[in-house]
Amino acid sequence: MTTEAGRHLSQPGVDLALLERRHLRELHLTIHPLPGETLRDLAGRLGILLRRHGAAVVRHAVFGSSAARGRTLEALREELGPLDWPVSWIEGDEGRPSHNGAADALAGMQVWAVAGVPVETVRLEDRIVGRRFDDGWARHLVLGDLAPPDPSAPRPQQARAVFERMAASLDRAGLSLQDVARTWLYLENLLSWYGPFNEVRTEFFRLHRILGRRLPASTGIHGRNPYGAALLAGAWAVRPLDPAAAVREVPSPLQCPAPRYGSSFSRAMELSTPDLRRVLVSGTASIAADGSSAHPNDLKGQIELTMDVVRAILESRGLSFTDVTRSLTYFKRISDAPAFDSWRAERGLDFFPAVSIQTDVCRDELLFEIEVDAAAPL
């Protein structure tokens, strides 16, 4: 399926949102394993697409069994050569098998790549932590695979160490925490320490003078990592280079600000340039306007309210579900994932790229959460 003059392409195992811009081309890829496919086959499909467009990877996230990480990275290197970008690996609770190099150990992978501009690798302590590029209007730095140096330390201490590495990586690339527009925060055993984590994040943001200014959009969700650490993080920082570029916090028309109940993030961020409007919607669940959980333990009701919230955010900035370039859906029970497929089908959304994993959301009664990126050329 191809729509909108080739902007969207869907075929078995891959969804591609292609953004043609004044200074560059962006590829937003969502890749799923095909039946009977090997990891080398899957890596080969990614390689074909990157070479076809002459694109360099700036963000790469893989969702699947940590036991398959080594074989997956080996397959990627055989197909793509040295990996000059961080690969963030997140394992959910769906218990995917890992044997004989089969790709079904993965729920999927998401890749953002760009063509037409130079892309630089950023290192910290001889470790690849990010990719930096300019789009003609702003400087972008995408960080990934940020883990604490000591996974045996108390969890709050590990969280603080991750934020310190994030700040040091930004500084290495000539940016700061005040430039961060988006974070991804995967907490092992989220429900057991989400409160202390929020205290660490809030204090760190206060120290770096972010509170009271522009808080980044964020996803804070349960997820395991290959290091056995309490937290794995990623971030996207944007610094305008031209007065025509802007980074703005976007309020949610249907939900209260997250800081009202102790979480230091914004509901969404808008990145706008003369050639593109982009909205990054934070991890969003069934939370009512007063901050309470709505439709507890009611999957259908939670999906409908959550998607109404996302729709309202996008429409407030002139976008819609047809502009979605990437999404992640999180389910307390992966067996509930077909309910979201039904929601999409009922609305005729032929193109709505998503990877689904099983994981705890920030409240025990919440069954579903989604994060969404959407963009449209101007």
Q: What is the pLDDT of residue 149?
A: 97
pLDDT digit string, tens, across residues 28-56: 999 999 999 999 999 999 999 999 999 99
User: Band of the pLDDT at 348, cuts 50, 70, 90?
Assistant: very high
Between 334 and 97, residue with greater pLDDT: 334
| CB atoms inside a 10 Å sphere around CB 99 | 10
Q: What is the pLDDT of residue 99?
A: 61
Q: What is the pLDDT of residue 211?
A: 86
Residue 3 pLDDT exceeds 50? no
pLDDT digit string, tens, across residues 232-265: 999 999 999 999 999 999 999 999 999 988 899 9
| CB atoms inside a 10 Å sphere around CB 244 | 12
pLDDT digit string, tens, across residues 98-138: 666 778 899 999 999 999 999 999 999 999 999 999 999 99
Q: How far apart are CA 69 and CA 104, in angstroms?
A: 12
Domain spans, the chain: 1-117, 119-242, 275-378
The DSSP symbol for 38 reads: B
pLDDT digit string, tens, across residues 150-170: 999 999 999 999 999 999 999
- Percent of residues, the chain, with pLDDT higher than 90: 92
Q: What is the CATH number of domain 275-378?
A: 3.30.1330.40
Signed CA dihedral, 55, 59, 64, 68: sign only: positive
pLDDT digit string, tens, across residues 261-294: 889 999 999 999 999 999 999 999 999 999 999 9
Q: What is the mean pLDDT of residues 209-226?
A: 94
Q: What is the pLDDT of residue 98?
A: 65
Domains 119-242 and 275-378 share a fold: yes
Q: How far apart are CA 269 and CA 128, in angstroms?
A: 26
pLDDT digit string, tens, across residues 297-311: 899 999 999 999 999
Residue 1 pLDDT exceeds 90? no
Amino acid at position 12, single letter = P
Q: Does CATH number 2.40.340.10 belong to domain 119-242?
A: no
Q: Identify the CA nearest to 70 among candidates 110, 96, 97, 98.
A: 98
Retrieve residue 84's tokens: 């000059």
Q: What is the pLDDT of residue 212?
A: 78
Q: For the whole model, what pTM was predicted? A: 0.96
- Percent of residues, the chain, with pLDDT higher than 70: 98
Residue 6 pLDDT exceeds 70? no
User: Band of the pLDDT at 95, cuts 50, 70, 90?
Assistant: confident
Residue 23 pLDDT exceeds 90? no
Listed range (80-84, 204-208, 211-215) with the worst mean pLDDT? 211-215
In this structure, which CATH number among 3.30.70, 3.30.1340, 3.10.620, 3.30.1330 belongs to the domain 1-117?
3.30.1330
Beta-carbon contacts of 237 under 8 Å, excluding residues fewer than 6 positions away, are 140, 141, 142, 143, 170, 173, 175, 176, 179, 180, 181
In whole numbers, what is the pLDDT of the chain averaged over residues?
Answer: 95
